[in-house]
Amino acid sequence: MIYYIIPVIAGWILDLIIGDPHCIYHPVRLIGWLIGKLDKMLYKDTDSNRKKYYKGMLLWVLVMLATGGVTAAGLYIFYRINVTAGLIAESVMCYQLIAAKSLKDESMKVYYRLKENNIEKARYAVSMIVGRDTEKLDETGITKAAVETVAENTSDGIAAPLFYIVFFGAAGGFMYKAVNTMDSMIGYKNDKYMYFGRFAAKADDVVNFIPARLASWIMIAATGVVQIFSKDKKYNMKDALRIYRRDKHNHSSPNSAHTESVCAGALGVRLAGDNYYFGKLVKKPYIGDDSRPVEIEDIKRVNILLYVTTFLCIIMAAAVRIIIFLGRMCV
């Protein structure tokens, strides 16, 4: 039974210790490379909207087949060698799928630049982790952007990959990452990708539907844990639940506002609102109450929530894998 949970636990520990070293070429970058190549091959500006949509669907299918095929074949080969080789390979794959430390490290770069009062470097640092235009953001805008991306990616970068690892192994986790990467690269509602990227965007909505909601409830529980044990009195589990119930649909995506609304309530701040994307103003509703101004320290606070939520996710993932194992033993 212990073998069944080793990849999940080991992958989390490796991420906790090492994070995402930039000197190693991450497999998700290979997925991104493949998406970019297929984008150039398949997209034609002269195609009809219908043809763009079907070509975008073809891109999605090809990327999923390649990702699932390569990862499943790799695991099969290593497990055929022996169980130890298979567990090591799957543990490394799980490590590459969990993004808690890299998310924390990248957002803390924003924190340190702001603490140095270096707005230009803070704008550059936050531009590495958000999709909005950052050139004109002030200190509050930069801070909000960092807090929002950590909150949102608690689902995309931790809870959702773990959800698919639990039920489909590391290969399932990488297939989820492929869906997520396609959405981030071609799932835009701009002139180029409105039709070509529509299937990728809708597929991302589907695969994140359950994980986003699970992540939200786990983050609410994490808020309660932090509220009990932290000396910082800014955390509020009751408000996390209240704002989640009220504002979880305040986003064009059916999933993106879920963990973000929990975070806004937990910290007692107002997030989201209008932002510029590719030079165009996009109107968005606010999430949370304007109980107090967003402050630089909120970046640290959301990272504490990130880590406690990740820990609870790991516990739940290990427990579910044990239950699945026992269920198979009884069949």
Residue 195: count of CB within 10 angstroms of its CB: 18
What is residue 71's predicted lDDT score, i.e. its pLDDT?
A: 96
Tokens of 293: 């101004």
What is residue 24's predicted lDDT score, i.e. its pLDDT?
A: 62
Burial 216-225 (b: 16+ CB within 10 A, else e): bebbbbbbbb
In angstroms, the CA 204 to CA 32 distance is 15
Contact yes or no for 222/244 (Cβ under 8 A): no
Contact yes or no for 270/286 (Cβ under 8 A): yes
Q: What percent of the chain has pLDDT over 70?
A: 97
pLDDT above 90 (res 178): yes
Q: Which tens digit of pLDDT belongs to each residue from 128-147? A: 988 888 888 999 999 999 99
pLDDT above 60 (res 168): yes
pTM, entire model:
0.93
Tokens of 313: 């996710």
What is residue 1's predicted lDDT score, i.e. its pLDDT?
A: 56
Q: Which tens digit of pLDDT belongs to each residue from 254-291? A: 998 999 999 999 999 999 888 877 778 888 899 999 99
What's the whole-number average pLDDT of the chain?
92
DSSP of 16-27: HHT---TTS--H
In angstroms, the CA 87 to CA 3 distance is 7
pLDDT above 70 (res 319): yes
Tokens of 278: 């590719």
Burial 37-50 (b: 16+ CB within 10 A, else e): ebbeebbeeeeeee
If phi > 0 it is left, if psi is from -120 to 50 it is alpha, else beta; for residue 277 that is beta
pLDDT above 90 (res 222): yes
Q: Give backbone dihedrals phi and psi of 260, rounded to 5 degrees, phi first.
A: -65, -40
| 288 sits in which H/E element | none
- The C-alpha angle with vertex 15 and arms to 248 and 141, in degrees rounded to 5, equals 45
- Domain spans, the chain: 2-330
What is residue 23's predicted lDDT score, i.e. its pLDDT?
A: 58
- The model's confidence at residue 2, banded by pLDDT at 50, 70 and 90, is low
pLDDT above 60 (res 127): yes
Q: What's the number of CA atoms in the CB half-sphere (13 Å) around residue 237?
A: 14
Q: Which tens digit of pLDDT belongs to each residue from 90-120? A: 999 999 999 999 999 999 999 999 999 999 9
Closest CA to 28 of 84, 79, 102, 83: 102
What is residue 20's predicted lDDT score, i.e. its pLDDT?
A: 78
